[in-house]
Structure 1
């Protein structure tokens, strides 16, 4: 966990002490409009394993999917946690929160999701939105969004919400964030969307194993063609790695660094950690990126974001929901049918802005 957070070796002892304290920290997990994919991702955590996390490190007082209890019994436990353990529990929100018609499109135990989240947020030590749906609406907020589904930050305006986006997110990013909160009493450094910089501070493109092919101009043109079979860059197949901030290449799924992620199994990155792009425009469109890049022109993707807070201002375009380790569709590149450019937004933390403006 210390390595995941980018902390020195000495921090490991502090994290271990916090995670093994006799008075285990409490987690209250509320599920809204979601597919339970984020919980499924957590079930496959291996550093630490889920059983260690739940039986030794944390006290998961309420989780509709994992609790043995049900009905009145589990709802009574949730109520007891909210009323009698204020300031001692971490509120985790999975799934979007519908606001239309007073929130009637998602109810648990006869109460709307917005009521439950608002109530629990008042006494929470910290609030974490896990997954893209909880972070900013995700699939539930896709156009035309009849239920007016929103993410936890919008539903809980005025509250600090740490977002762990992804569809699903890597469970170790979530676990590391929770343990940071418990160890140091505060959230890790965040970007302007509430995402921890240790996990979302660099672009997928920066550490992609296919980056050398991109630099050499070797691109797969179609799924299954020679370039695709040889592991060439997937940019022309719609890969959003140059515009997506996530640590997927270095902290993979299923077994950490030895596991897999979409690009490693031949599927383009759909940018599922970025806000709203594909979902807000409709999830059945696929960006037209089959046209060849203009001769001698490559996207401006060689600048890296500093540790300062930046805002992605790339133009919004069509995306699609795809499946490769649960990746969900988004796209931030500015695309045109005959011309494709993908310039990154100005970076105020460096002189990148001046270089971009000159270009």
Structure 2
């Protein structure tokens, strides 16, 4: 572990050109929704920034968050950022095992006390310490011990952020989120099952550049990535506004790209960057692939009604308000579509030309 090298020195040692470095800074500014004028400031900050020590703890999880992070295509923002931090402890990615692995964690905590970044994925079981342990240490005890010297904590994935699937009814392990146990450290929630890779690294880039956590929403998510619903930016939104909905996954509407709301899409009440950032280097996202959003970046998403039932038919009180609002939107969209179709039909029968002004009257 080397802690005396700046990021700029590390980049030059790896043969990264000044041009490549500035391109990276521009990409970072774009990811964080900053204006181009901030690129020089980002470059100056990164040039002098020390490589931060990062400790990654994995608790009750499926390794999906790590799998997501490693699905990068070189060269990418993900590989560049993760190549410049000192990832000192990570069960899946580290070569060490057993006592050597725990020694690496303890040394990183000691040498970087008060400065290291703690990343956690997976929920923490409180029902019985034996449900999940590492080196004979319960998840709860390891989290509390490691969090003491952390500068900030990033809860990666919905399990760490909100309890996720392990916390779903009936919650047999007594699973809780990181924020349920840690109250004295800044926590950034990066939910998703799993989160988008560039969302994870975008948060790391912000912290590395400014030494602070990004602006968060009411449930601890970075607003830059979770500030709008997927529905607001979805390419199927125009069909929703026109009242055009697929009735099944293989009907004519589905083939034409109509809205998937009636098939259970939770995009109207789900905040995430899926529709804009997308997955697999911007290739696609679930709705584009023909499947409705399941709302995985929201608290208690597993218990918020069936994945194939529209929000207008809520299964429990949690979805009642959101469902009513979404249903009203569907009704309004359908009414607008019917009015437009009637106006066009009337105009066609009278051999008249229909204008936008006509339709808005």
The TM-score by the shorter chain falls in which range?
0.7 to 0.9
TM-superposed CA distance for 1:286, in Å, is: 4.2
* Cα distance between partner residues in 2 of 1:125 and 1:159: 7
TM-superposed CA distance for 1:49, in Å, is: 5.0
Give the root-mean-square deviation of aligned CA atoms. 2.6
Q: Give the structure-2-normalised TM-score.
A: 0.77
Match of 1:209 among 217, 231, 235: 235
**Mapping 1:1-359, distance limit 5 Å:** 1-19=28-46, 21=48, 23-46=50-73, 48=76, 50-55=78-83, 57-101=84-128, 103-256=129-282, 259-279=283-303, 285-286=306-307, 288-289=309-310, 315-317=317-319, 333-334=322-323, 340-341=327-328
Count residues in correspondence. 300
* Cα distance between partner residues in 2 of 1:13 and 1:252: 28
> Matched residue of 1:202: which SS?
coil
TM-superposed CA distance for 1:142, in Å, is: 1.3
Residues 240, 332 of structure 1: 8 Å contact kept: no
* Cα distance between partner residues in 2 of 1:138 and 1:126: 21
Residues 230, 271 of structure 2: 8 Å contact kept: yes
* Cα distance between partner residues in 1 of 2:47 and 2:80: 10
Q: Which has the larger radius of gyration?
A: 2
Runs (5+) with no aligned partner, structure 1? 294-313, 318-330, 344-359
TM-superposed CA distance for 1:114, in Å, is: 0.9
> Matched residue of 1:92: which SS?
strand
Distance 1:67 1:45, change over 3 A: same
TM-superposed CA distance for 1:183, in Å, is: 1.2
Displacement over 4 Å in runs of 4+: 16-22, 339-343
TM-superposed CA distance for 1:155, in Å, is: 2.0
Distance 1:208 1:51, change over 3 A: closer
TM-superposed CA distance for 1:222, in Å, is: 0.8
**C-alpha offsets along residues 249-307 of structure 1, whole Å, 9 cap, x if unaligned?**
11111113xx11000000001111111132477xxx4453399x9xxxxxxxxxxxxxx
Residues 106, 113 of structure 1: 8 Å contact kept: yes
**C-alpha offsets along residues 4-35 of structure 1, whole Å, 9 cap, x if unaligned?**
11012233344445555573111100000001
Residues 333, 341 of structure 1: 8 Å contact kept: no
* Cα distance between partner residues in 2 of 1:14 and 1:63: 31
Greater helix fraction, Structure 1 or Structure 2: 2
Residues 266, 311 of structure 2: 8 Å contact kept: no
Q: Give the structure-1-normalised TM-score.
A: 0.77
* Cα distance between partner residues in 2 of 1:82 and 1:242: 42
> Matched residue of 2:87: which SS?
strand
* Cα distance between partner residues in 1 of 2:303 and 2:56: 24
Of residues 17-26 and 75-84 in structure 1, the stretch that sits farther from structure 2 once superposed is: 17-26
* Cα distance between partner residues in 2 of 1:143 and 1:16: 47
* Cα distance between partner residues in 2 of 1:189 and 1:286: 30
